[in-house]
Amino acid sequence: MKECGLCLAIETSCDETAAAVLAGRTCVRANVVSSQYVHARYGGVVPELAARAHAQMVVPVCRAALDQTDAGFADLDCIAATFAPGLMGALLVGLPFAKALARSLDVPFVGVNHLEGHLFALRLSFPDLTPPFLGAVLSGGHTELIVVEDWCRYHRLGGTLDDACGEAFDKVAKLLGLPYPGGARVEELASRGRPTVAFPLPVAGAGPDALDFSFSGLKTAVRYRLRDHDDEPADIAASFQHAAVEGIGRRLVAARHRTGLTAVGVSGGVAANRRLRERLAELAAEHGFRLLVPKMCYCTDNAAMIAAAGVERLARFGPSPLSLAARARAPLQTETGPAVDLPVISS
Ligand code: KG4
Ligand code: ZN
């Protein structure tokens, strides 16, 4: 398998403009993330504003990443970028920029599925991790339970039937009057509240042994609880977080037993939640699995994870075509070829 030297990766799928430089498969030389605070006043990501902010920041963020290494553009061996899933206008900033850069430097370009990036965040924190293992991507846009049969070969076990778990955190934050994005704010408020003493909320999920998730019922229960009772906001936050964490834990334990896999990796923005980390560590000890949660900086959106996935894809399947289209939705690439090239909307 051919080794890639230095890879510059670009991530612009939602509201973070990110660039990273990776040496080899797991050595992160730079990891720069510019978060867009412009959305806070609207209570959610405004696609048009996200695209404009990416257009402003993509060059400075790439320059900052290169400045943190002692490398220049001429030292790069490949360029990776997220091509899907995400906001179309946002993807259409980073993706064509990456292609143009690769073309002008005459180095390979590789397109990466954002979900695959979240799975590769695990490899950055645990370079010794070898498939097969169970992977859960818990983010603002996705809640997916996946068997990583091999790097770049996946089998989906389940996912959310409605809201993503980060989305549920964000919606509950909004109900509690907390600013967007609300996940970390809910966690902070919950740390001062009572998780079960105050009142029981339904544990998120479709049934005790199901491998699918459901969070919208839990969110609605919070809404009615707020309407009909006069609880402390901290107790509501703690009770919601408790129910969400229990729901996630249950599914991971069910999947661990169903597959027999003894390594379980959890990534995505919600994996930054400390209570979730603590609870999953307890369940790992109880049910005999190794729990892997990436460093905080690789849980939320970043480009280092895109670089890690890109380098692996490049080594296995070669470069992506420069005609690779951005796609708002795309399942995890389970095919063993380069990123699929569908003539949807060309960039
Ligand atoms: O992976 P990510 O950065 O972006 C997506 O791909 O969506 O995840 C962002 C999501 C948001 O919904 C945010 O509220 C949530 O992750 N999040 C958290 C925490 N930090 C971020 N949720 C719960 N607890 C946290 N500490
Ligand atoms: Zn993400």
Angle, CA 332 vertex, CA 147 and CA 266 arms, to 5°: 45
Nearest ligand to the CA of 178 is: 1
CA distance 25 to 41: 39
Count of residues in the chain: 347
Q: Quick check: do 6-119+298-338 and 131-296 share a fold?
A: yes
pLDDT of residue 344 exceeding 50, the answer is no
pLDDT above 90 for 201: no
How does residue 208 score in pLDDT terms, banded at 50, 70 and 90? low
Domain 131-296 -> CATH class: alpha beta
Q: Which of 33-42, 79-88, 243-252 has the lowest mean pLDDT?
A: 33-42
pTM: 0.93
Residue extents of the structural domains in the chain: 6-119+298-338, 131-296
267, HSE (Cβ side, Cα atoms, 13 Å): 28
Asked whether the beta carbons of 159 and 145 are under 8 A apart, the reply is: yes
Among 177, 178, 298, 188, which residue's Cα sits nearest to residue 241? 188
Question: What is the C-alpha to C-alpha distance for residues 258 and 281, in angstroms, rounded to an integer?
Answer: 19
Q: Which amino acid, one-letter code, is at 228?
A: D
Using CA positions, which residue lies closest to atom 21 of ligand 1? 269
Is the Cβ–Cβ distance between 192 and 234 less than 8 Å? Answer: yes
Select from 112, 270, 306 the residue to mutate for testing ligand 1; criterion: most ligand atoms less than 8 Å from CB: 270
Residue with tokens 């964000």: 170
Which residues are near ligand 1 (CB < 6 Å)?
14, 139-141, 166-167, 169-170, 181-184, 187, 268-270, 272-273, 300-301
Say if residues 294 and 28 touch (Cβ distance below 8 Å). no
Quick one: which atom of ligand 1 is closest to the CA of 170?
Answer: 14
- Tell the CATH superfamily of the 6-119+298-338 domain: ATPase, nucleotide binding domain (3.30.420.40)
From atom 8 of ligand 1, which residue's Cα is the shortest distance away?
A: 269
Q: Is the pLDDT of residue 323 over 90?
A: yes
> Would you say residue 197 has pLDDT above 80?
no
The arithmetic mean of pLDDT across residues 192-219, rounded, is 78
How many degrees, rounded to 5, is the angle at CA 98 between CA 96 and CA 102?
115
At residue 260 the predicted structure's pLDDT band, cuts being 50, 70 and 90, is: very high
Strand partners, 155: 147
pLDDT mean over 249-253: 94
